[in-house]
Structure 1
Amino acid sequence: MSPAANPKRWALTGRIVTMATEGDVIKNGTIFIEDNRIAAILPKGQPAPVGFEAVAAVTTGGTIYPGLIELHNHLSYNVLPLWRVPQLFGNCDQWQNAKSYKTSVTGPMSAIALADDGSLLPALVRYVEAKCLVAGTTTSQGITLSNWSGTIHKYYKGALRAAEIGSPPDLPRAHSKIPDIDAEDWAKFDNELKSSACFLLHLSEGIDPKAHSHFLALRNSAGDWAIEPSLAGIHCTALDATDFGTMAQHQARVVWSPLSNLLLYGKTTDVAAARAAGLTIALGSDWSPSGSKNLLGQLKAAKVVSAHFNLGFSDYDIVAMATRNPAAILKWDSKLGTIAKGKFADLLVVKGVTGDPYAHLIKSREQDIVLVTIGGRARYGTKKAMQQAGGSGEALKVGRSARVIDFTSPDQDPRIEKITLAEATTRLSAALGNLGTLQPHSIAMSAAIASGTVSRTGWRLALDEQFGNNVQLRPRLAYNGIRTGPDLAAVAAAAEPLHPIKLDGLTVADDPVFIDTLKNPTFRRG
């Protein structure tokens, strides 16, 4: 977002939690914003900076934090409800081949992506972007689009910041999607790490020896490790203290998704060992089929897990995993992740100013969010706060509270139809309720793509959880050169019949089924 010809100046007041260091909190202060950056931060009672003398600050009555930054998500899948996991698994290959997973996740998403007549893609990107914004997330992982021939892929640009797009040179783009890599391609993978500012890689997802073998594949026959400071290992659930020591020696990082880990494997990453080794840790909600509905929910999961397993993480530590830590991992920390003069004004305002400021954010619910800004622009908030901040957009309700959300952006992808959130909700609800009809079309399109006979023009979703499309987030640097993971064509050929499912609720506040599913798994965990 480039500065306007005539600078836009505005300000907001509240309790300011800078996240620069623990305890760096201004109990009552004002953040002054000029265009897309923070011009000054002053305690109450101090004179306004030059140029802001006539600016009436927005009185938020809340606590102001840096916008939340998420480094692990599969945004395209966030239209699907939480999957009722039928059993605990040892590695990700096992649950990806489970029958109920195919009918609850792979099948429905293939139907949405491949049977699309052009109306579902804009609906999906609108809806999943909204799910992030209404929970205070200002940066997540982008939605990948492919043309129908499958020869080009790119990322959707909208109101939300996307880690893979960034904003060079200030915010270098992260890498995360690469073709399947066999063990003999170790050098190629190592070179990609060396040339990246940040490389987000699903690593050793699972808890058994097979999952651990994918970490061992990072070491070649000469004993050299394909681990660089750019590497951010997502999950790392199969790693032990020795492995984390190896990662620390090479200055790598970890992205933790505790709720998803526990639902699928009954165990989560040994983040205490990772921290003891000196690794920086960030949080990610993973995706709606097996994780939190949003990053705000994942903060709560992290606190519960830390307390239950005596991991020793303070509330400040946990909030840092969604603010300053991911900014450092992305190499964005000079511009985002903390509240400071000169940084981009990506901010989150939560109702209330009492109690511990870090616990305050963790305890907050979606209906407590007052305002979300990205690059100095009010993107989402209560009707009153948005009006005072000069924001406008579409009306919606969270719980019983009126909200306004603004998706417009000069950088928005011109190929994607601009539709309202209400229309997106209608289209997606209808499609997910008609999966049986969509399924044959998606199977036919999958076969056509595989054979190279696709004649359609336009864009489709590239599903980053599936294999064989060169954009997957779970690539395999396979130990002993053996590829793992389901084959897309084989999945389509053995497709189970699909039945209607419900569109996942936009918020936990408006989705009682989400909490019920968490409380009532289909099997008893030990």
Structure 2
Amino acid sequence: MSPAASPKRWALSGRIVTMAAEGDVIKSGTIFIEDNRIAAIVAKGQSAPAGFEAINPVATGGTIYPGLIELHNHLSYNILPLWQVPQLYGNRDQWQNAKSYKTSVTGPMSAIALADDGSLLPALVRYVEAKCMVAGTTTSQGITLSNWSGTIHKYYKGALRAAEIGSPPDLPRAHSKIPDIDAEDWAKFDKELKSSSCFLLHLSEGIDTKAHSHFLALRNSEGDWAIEPSLAGIHCTALDATDFGTMAENRAKVVWSPLSNLLLYGTTTDVVAARTAGLTIALGSDWSPSGSKNLLGELKAAKVVSAHFNLGFSDYEIVSMATRNPAAILKWEAKLGTIASGKFADLLVVKGVTGDPYSHLIKSHEQDIVLVTIGGRPRYGTKTIMQKAGGSGEALKIGSSARVIDFTSPDQDPEIEKITLAEATIRLRAALGNLGTLQPHSLAMSDAIASGTVSRTGWRLALDEQFGNNVQLRPRLEYNGVRTGPDLAAVATAAEPLHPIKLDGLTVAGDPVFLDTLKSEPNLPQGIGAAIAAFY
């Protein structure tokens, strides 16, 4: 029998923001890491723990936070640039049928997913994972794949943690999809909620009566609510104080995407009412067509929106929405969300150690990210810090700064080609610039899938917002005899010819068009776009 491998031990030093409680900050300290967990945290001047006496800590010169956890992001769509939303909408059904939405979002994504010759899926998963990691996100929602006939589904396994994959028993799997039949049956839907530790579901997307009926349908004829402690309602934009009181009584939670709400509806979720009711609130950037480029950007949007509407959220509360709160919603709080001994070493280091530590993170740019670790492994950072931390990977630049990113993983999906980020970028730019040629191939494949005549092997994207996949991202219960929730099956692939579009930039720093587009969005209340842009 071969001897057990020695544990990997290393350490990093800086200002440590534990997020265990407001003000729980070690001005200068060291985090000692053994394999995938934090072994100890000590303040400057204290002795290293046993076994770490010979370890020379990596001096980061930065502020260390828990890795950011995102509970709402349709990652597959994050190759698309920000959509110029043409008008105000009242609910989800309305904007999904807009002509420009079909030519800017659903049409291009169908072309990428269904006209894929096998080269685009590896490129897409590589690129969208990179967009998360370079902005400090260590957990997001999963990317759904299916075989070409659409009969088998799975989540892509990459370097990023996925809420729906988790790491049982330490990190229980979340659910974000309901079988079609269960989504339309109150008792079955309630049973689904009871069966999971966390269910991330879209709820009441919009601001009108139709959007509100989506929530009211959760109550059956006997007056019982299909709301369980596992339910984390995404958006909840149509809910009022009474509704949030009902959610609180049943110990549900809320996932807030302020920028996406404003871009589509001109207003946002009543998160003050949600907070007053005692609900735990987390943040999600939604997706690049109508949201922030990453969760770091959504922190800025939340701060701007809180100030604009006098919501009263402190910087600590906003940072909590991307760290400790989502960990609690996922039932992961014993292992992630705060920095403590015994927890997994998912960490984010931001350049600089002065000023308010919570404002410091919110104000930071992507080029300020010094290091990102997932499970104790250096995944992304400056070239110098990655080398000192024993990390390696592909070289890239953020702005003018040299960075290194590591996608390798022992349980990475073996059936998906492993390519560099540089190659992924080349492939995606070419495909998005050639949508007119891809479109007829995607339409033909769509017909073949529908008729059951597909013979291809391998995996393709399963776009939940377009292809159905026999699951729903939201309940579809009846209210007053009418089925609630958007009817995604009614959305046809764009009939209009597709034209080339640009690949969405990896970061705001590398995308000069993003802020100009944001500031020109017609539905944003005056000053919101400019205030977000001012952070950059």
| Equivalent residue letter for 1:275 | R
- The alpha carbon displacement at 1:179 in A equals 3.2
Does the alignment pair 1:76 with 2:76?
yes
In 2, distance between residues paired with 1:120 and 1:498?
18
Could you tell me which residue of structure 2 aligns to residue 188 of structure 1?
Answer: 188
In 2, distance between residues paired with 1:115 and 1:11?
46
- The alpha carbon displacement at 1:477 in A equals 3.1
Q: Conserved in 1, the CA contact under 8 Å of 2:39 and 2:341?
A: yes
- The alpha carbon displacement at 1:473 in A equals 2.8
Say which SS state the counterpart of residue 465 (structure 1) adopts.
helix
- The alpha carbon displacement at 1:476 in A equals 2.8
Q: Conserved in 2, the CA contact under 8 Å of 1:462 and 1:471?
A: no
Could you tell me which residue of structure 1 aligns to residue 492 of structure 2?
Answer: 491
Could you tell me which residue of structure 1 aligns to residue 8 of structure 2?
Answer: 8
Q: Conserved in 1, the CA contact under 8 Å of 2:372 and 2:378?
A: yes
Could you tell me which residue of structure 2 aligns to residue 362 of structure 1?
Answer: 362
- The alpha carbon displacement at 1:524 in A equals 8.0
- The alpha carbon displacement at 1:318 in A equals 0.2
CA shift digits 1:66-85 (9 cap, x unpaired): 00000000000000000000
In 2, distance between residues paired with 1:232 and 1:56?
42
More displaced, 336-345 or 476-485? 476-485
Equivalences for 1:72-471 in 2 at 5 Å?
Answer: 72-180=72-180, 185-471=185-471
In 2, distance between residues paired with 1:460 and 1:45?
54
Q: Cα gap change, 1:317/1:524 in structure 2, threshold over 3 Å: closer, same or farther?
A: closer
TM-score if structure 2 supplies the norm length?
0.95
CA shift digits 1:149-206 (9 cap, x unpaired): 1111000001000000000000000000123457851111101100001000000010
Say which SS state the counterpart of residue 32 (structure 1) adopts.
strand
Could you tell me which residue of structure 2 aligns to residue 18 of structure 1?
Answer: 18
Q: Conserved in 1, the CA contact under 8 Å of 2:182 and 2:192?
A: no
| Equivalent residue letter for 2:61 | G
Q: Conserved in 2, the CA contact under 8 Å of 1:63 and 1:349?
A: yes
In 2, distance between residues paired with 1:293 and 1:81?
9
- The alpha carbon displacement at 1:120 in A equals 0.3
| Equivalent residue letter for 2:95 | W
Say which SS state the counterpart of residue 254 (structure 2) adopts.
strand
The unaligned stretches of length 5 or more in structure 2 are 527-536
| Equivalent residue letter for 1:491 | A
Say which SS state the counterpart of residue 372 (structure 2) adopts.
strand
- The alpha carbon displacement at 1:411 in A equals 1.1
Could you tell me which residue of structure 2 aligns to residue 30 of structure 1?
Answer: 30
| Equivalent residue letter for 1:340 | A
Q: Conserved in 1, the CA contact under 8 Å of 2:474 and 2:485?
A: no
Q: Which runs of 4+ in 1 moved over 3 A?
A: 179-184, 483-490, 522-526
Q: Conserved in 2, the CA contact under 8 Å of 1:181 and 1:475?
A: no
In 2, distance between residues paired with 1:400 and 1:154?
38
In 2, distance between residues paired with 1:471 and 1:86?
29
CA shift digits 1:120-166 (9 cap, x unpaired): 00000000000000000000001000001111100000100000000
- The alpha carbon displacement at 1:470 in A equals 2.5
Could you tell me which residue of structure 2 aligns to residue 63 of structure 1?
Answer: 63
Q: Cα gap change, 1:514/1:258 in structure 2, threshold over 3 Å: closer, same or farther?
A: same
How big is the alpha-carbon RMSD for the aligned residues of Structure 1 and Structure 2? Answer: 1.4
In 1, distance between residues paired with 2:392 and 2:183?
52
| Equivalent residue letter for 1:144 | T
| Equivalent residue letter for 2:153 | H
Q: Conserved in 2, the CA contact under 8 Å of 1:306 and 1:312?
A: yes
